[in-house]
Amino acid sequence: MNRPDPDALLDRLQREEAESQRGRLKIFFGASAGVGKTYAMLQAARRRADEGIDVVVGIAETHRRIETAALLDGLDVLPLAQIDYRGRRLGEFDLDAALARKPQLILVDELAHSNVHGARHLKRWQDVHELLDAGIDVYTTVNVQHLESLNDVVGQITGIRVWETVPDRVFDGADDVTLVDLPAAELLDRMRDGKVYLPQQAERAVRNFFRKGNLIALRELALRRTADRVDAQMREYRADQSIQRIWQARDRLLVCVGPGPDAPMLVRGAARLAASLRADWIAVYVDTPKLQRLPDARRERTLNALKLAAELGAETATLAGNDAVAALIGYARVRNVSKLVAGASSRSGFTRWLRRPLGERIAERAGDLDLTLIGAPRESDASVRRSTPAQAPGATRWAPSASGVRRPPRMAGRW
C-alpha cells in the first residue's frame, strides 16, 4: 500500500534535476506597502553576504526611508539602465548588466512593477524569470494585492483597483516565501510617523487605501494565501514520501455527492459545517460504472449539486472508479482531508440490509478519518406531514380497548 508510484517518482527526479540547474526564487510577501518587506530582504541579503555569497542589489526601492537606505551600505549596487521615454530618461533595472555580472544572488525589488516602454520585458517578474533561467538566485518582494487571483477581491475591499499584477504561478512556483507581517495599528503608526511615505502622501494614503479596516482585511488575505502555499507544500511532501496517514494540521472537509434527491441538502449542510470550522471543503462525486447507467435526469441532478457546491465556495472534483468508497478515501488521503461528510440513510429493515448505505461502508474503512453523517427527512415522516394520522402510510394503528388501554390490533396471517 505504501509503495511509491513509479510515475510520481520519475516526475520528482526530473523536477529535481531541472531545479538544480535553475536559480532559486525567494519572495518577501506582505499585506501592503510599509510592513517592512524591502527592509527584511536587505537584512537577509546582508547575512548571505557575510557568509561569503556574491550578492548584488539589482534594484531596491527605499522610498527615502532612512533605515532601509542604510542597509545598502557595503553592498554591491548595480547602476540603473537609462531608457528614453517621451523625452525623459528614466531609470530601470538593468537586466543585461545583471546577466553579464552573474552574481550568486541578486535583489530585484517590487516584483509586480511594469517596466518602462523600451525595456526587453513588459513586467519585472519576466526579468526575474530570465535571471532564474540563467542560474542566478533572486530575492524579491510583492504585496498580496498584486496577486492576479486576488485582484478583484482587493478591489472590492478597498474600492481601489490595482493594475500591476503578478500571475499566481510565479508566486506558487517560488522556492521560498517569507511572510513579513505587521498589525494594522502598528502600520498606521509608522505611516503617521513618516516612516512609510512623506507626511503629505501619508495623510492622503490613510484617508484612502490605508484605512484600518482595509489593512486588517489585506492582512488576513496575506496570512491565508501564505497558509495555502504551506498546505500545498505539505501535500507535495506527503505525495513524494508516499505518506498515507492523515496529518491533522488543518481542517479540510470532503463531502460525498451522489445522484440522490438529498444532494443539495447535503451540500448546504457541508457548507455550514465548513463555515463553522473555517475550513476548506471539497465536493466529490465518484462516477462508477453503475452510476454511468443512470438516466440523464439523475446525472444532471449530480452536476447541479456540484455546481451548487462551487457557488458556495467548495472545490469540486469528479473521480472514476469501480469502488466509490475506495476512491473517496484514497482521494481524501491524497488531499490530507481531516473530515469526510456523507448523507445518513433513512432506509431500514430489509432494504438497508440489501443495499448498505454509503456512510456505513465509509465508516468501516475510514481509519483515522473523521466521518460526519448529515441526516435527511425520512420519507415516512414526510408522508405523515402530508396525511391525516389515521391514513399515514407505514404507521401502525393502535385501537382502544373497553378498559381504555390502547392495544395493538389483531394481526391476520402467520409469522
Burial class (CB in 10 A: 0-12, 13-18, 19+), 355: exposed
Question: pLDDT of 327-386, one tens digit each?
Answer: 888 888 888 888 888 887 655 554 444 456 677 778 777 777 788 888 765 544 443 333
pLDDT band at 198 (very low <50, low <70, confident <90, very high): low
What are the grid coordinates assigned to 63, written together?
522610498
Does pLDDT of 212 surpass 60?
Answer: yes
**Fold match between 20-240 and 252-375?**
yes
User: Which amino acid, one-letter code, is at 194?
Assistant: G
Cell output for 40: 527584511
Residues 6+ away with beta carbon under 8 Å from 221: 31, 144, 150, 153, 154
Amino acid (one-letter) located at 220 = E
Domain 20-240 sits in CATH 3.40.50.300: yes
Class of CATH domain 252-375: alpha beta
Of residues 202 and 83, more confidence is placed in 83
pTM of the complete model beyond 0.85: no
Residue position matching grid coordinates 552573474: 102
Q: What is the Cα–Cα distance from 119 to 122, expressed in whole angstroms?
A: 7
When pLDDT is averaged across residues 258-268 and rounded to a whole number, the result is: 86
Domain ranges of the chain: 20-240, 252-375
9-27 tens-digit pLDDT: 677 676 666 667 899 999 9
Please, what is the end-to-end C-alpha distance for the chain in angstroms?
49
pLDDT tens, position by position, 279-319: 889 999 888 887 777 777 777 888 888 999 998 888 898 88
pLDDT-derived band at 203 (thresholds 50, 70, 90) equals low
